[in-house]
Structure 1
Amino acid sequence: MVHGYSALVLGSTGLVGQHLLEQLLKDEQYTSVTSLSRSMPMVDDASALTDKLNIVLSSLDNMADHQNVFDVDHVYVCLGTTIKQAGSKAQFKKVDHDYVVLAAQLAQAAQCKRFVWVSSVGADASSSSFYLRTKGKVEETIMKLQTQSGNKTQFIHVNPSLLLGERDTFRLAETVAGYLGKWFGWLMIGPLRKYRPVHASDVANWMRHPQQPTNG
C-alpha cells in the first residue's frame, strides 16, 4: 500500500546516508525524497534524479535558509565526522552537534511527523570522551524538544557501534576494528551485543523502521 510519504535526508553523501537514500528511493511508501547537501549524492538508478529525488545543493551553514525543504513527513539526519577529518574539536562540534540540533529545530517548526538521526552507542552528555559527550549532548538537547507543548514531531535516535562499509576516505583504526569485529563480533553477547560492528545499510534500515529492535 502506497502512503505517499515525503522525506528529507541530510548527510546523503556519507556512509549511512548513501544507503538510506538508496533505500528510500526504492521504498514505494515514499513518493518524494529530498537531499540537502553540499555535493551531489551518488545513486544507482539515474532515473531517480528526475522522478523521485529532489537535490538541493547548499552548505549546511545555510541550512536555515532552506526551511521549506523541512516541510516533509520524515527528516533523516546522517551527519557525522571525526575530529581528525573536521580539523578541530570546534569544527567537529559544528557538524555533529550544531547542525543536527538546528535540523531538529527546523523540522519541529515545520511540524514534520518524524525526525530520526544517527547518534552513537555510549553517547553520554557527562562522558569524559569528547566524542561521546558531544553525541550525548545532542540527544539531551533534542529530546527536550519532544516535551515542548504543542510539539507534533517524534524524535528518534539510533545508536550504532562501529560502522562497516566502503568509505571514500581510509580510516586505519576503523578498518582494523571492523576486521576484528567480523571475526570476533559473535563473542559480544548480552550487554556487549550493542558494541558489535554493524553495516551502514543496517543502520539505514533501522532509521526507516525505528520501531524494530536493533543491536543497540
Structure 2
Amino acid sequence: MTSPPVAVVGCTGLVGSHILQQLISSPQTFTVNALMRRPYPHPIHDPDSKLKALISTDTSTWPDTLGTTSSAALFSALGSTRTDSGSLELQRKIDVDLNVAIARAAKESGVKTYVLISSNGASSASRFPYLQMKGELEDAVIALGFDKTVILRPGLIVGGREKTRMIERPLHLVANLFGAVSGGTLKDSWAQDADVIARAAIRAGTEDAAWDGKGTKMNGKMFWVMSQVDILALGKEPQNL
C-alpha cells in the first residue's frame, strides 16, 4: 500500500531534519515535497529517493511553490531565533507570517492534515515574545480549518543542533546526563529527543489509529494539541508507515 505525497517545511532544522529522514526512509512509497533554502545537508540512504527538493533562497515564493504540489499532509518545523533573524520583527516574519502564508497555501491546494512543531507554553497571551508568536501561529492555523490539525508542544528539544543557543547548552548537558543514567525517566517530563518528536509528528499526521480517543472536534474539523506526555507515548513506538 502506497501513501500519498506529503510536504515538509523547516526540514534542515533539528526536528524537521528528523521528520524528513524518517519520511524518506519509510518502506512505503512517499513522495516528500520539501521546501528548502539550501540543498539538504545530510546523506540520504535511498537510491530511489522519494525526496522532491523545492529549493529557493527567496522564501516569499514558498507558498506559491507549495500550491503547485499535490500533498495530503504538511509538516511544519519552520522557525528561527531573534539572533539568527536579526531582530524580533524579522523573527516574526518567519515564525508567524511565513508559516501562516504557507499554511494558507496548503489549505487552498487541498492539504487535509497540518502538523506543526510548536513549543510548550505557547500562548498568544504570553508575555514572552517567543511563546506569544508560537501561540499566535497556533491560533491562525487552527482557524484555517484543516480536516486535521496537529500541534506538538515539546519541552526542551534535545539533539545535535548545528547551532545550540548558549542559554540552552547547560540544559542539554543535564538532559543528556539524566537520560543516560535513568533510561530517560528523569528527563522525559521536561526534555524530548528530536527523533522522538519527529516520530510522534509523523504518526499523528499519517496514521488514523494514532487519533483513537484523541483530539477535539470543532466545526466538523479535528485538532489535537499534543503535550509532552502525548509526544512520548506516540514517538517512542515505531510508526507504521
Q: Could you say what secondary structure the match of 2:198 adopts?
A: helix
For residues 20 and 27 of structure 2, the distance between their equivalents in structure 1, rounded to whole angstroms, comes to 13
Q: Could you say what secondary structure the match of 1:79 adopts?
A: coil
The 8 Å contact of residues 175 and 187 in structure 2, kept in 1 or not, is answered as no
**Match for residue 175 of structure 1?**
169
Q: Could you say what secondary structure the match of 1:5 adopts?
A: coil
The 8 Å contact of residues 124 and 131 in structure 2, kept in 1 or not, is answered as yes
Q: Do structure 1's residue 153 and structure 2's residue 170 form an aligned pair? A: no
Summarize the alignment of residues 129-148 of structure 1 with structure 2, pairs less than 5 Å apart: 129-146=128-145
Equivalent residue in structure 2 for 1:203, among 197, 207, 215 = 197
**Match for residue 84 of structure 2?**
85
Shift of 1:65: 2.7
Contiguous gaps of at least 5 residues in structure 1: 147-151
Percent identity at matched positions?
Answer: 26
For residues 184 and 4 of structure 1, the distance between their equivalents in structure 2, rounded to whole angstroms, comes to 38
For residues 164 and 91 of structure 1, the distance between their equivalents in structure 2, rounded to whole angstroms, comes to 25
What RMSD, in angstroms, separates the aligned Cα atoms of the two structures? 2.2
Summarize the alignment of residues 1-216 of structure 1 with structure 2, pairs less than 5 Å apart: 2-45=1-44, 47=46, 51-58=49-56, 59-146=58-145, 153-184=147-178, 186-187=185-186, 193=189, 196-210=190-204, 211=210, 213-215=230-232
Shift of 1:88: 0.4
Q: Could you say what secondary structure the match of 1:111 adopts?
A: coil
> Aligned AA for 1:56?
L
The 8 Å contact of residues 158 and 191 in structure 2, kept in 1 or not, is answered as yes
Shift of 1:89: 0.5
TM-score, structure 1 as length reference: 0.85
What whole-Å deviation, never above 9, does each CA across 1:97-119 have from its counterpart, x for those lacking one? 11111111111101112110111
TM-score, structure 2 as length reference: 0.77
Across the two proteins, how many residue pairs are aligned to each other? 204
For residues 30 and 109 of structure 1, the distance between their equivalents in structure 2, rounded to whole angstroms, comes to 25
For residues 186 and 50 of structure 2, the distance between their equivalents in structure 1, rounded to whole angstroms, comes to 42
Query: Which contiguous aligned blocks of 4+ residues in structure 1 show a shift greater than 3 angstroms?
Result: 67-70, 182-189
Farther-moved stretch of structure 1 (8-17 vs 64-73): 64-73
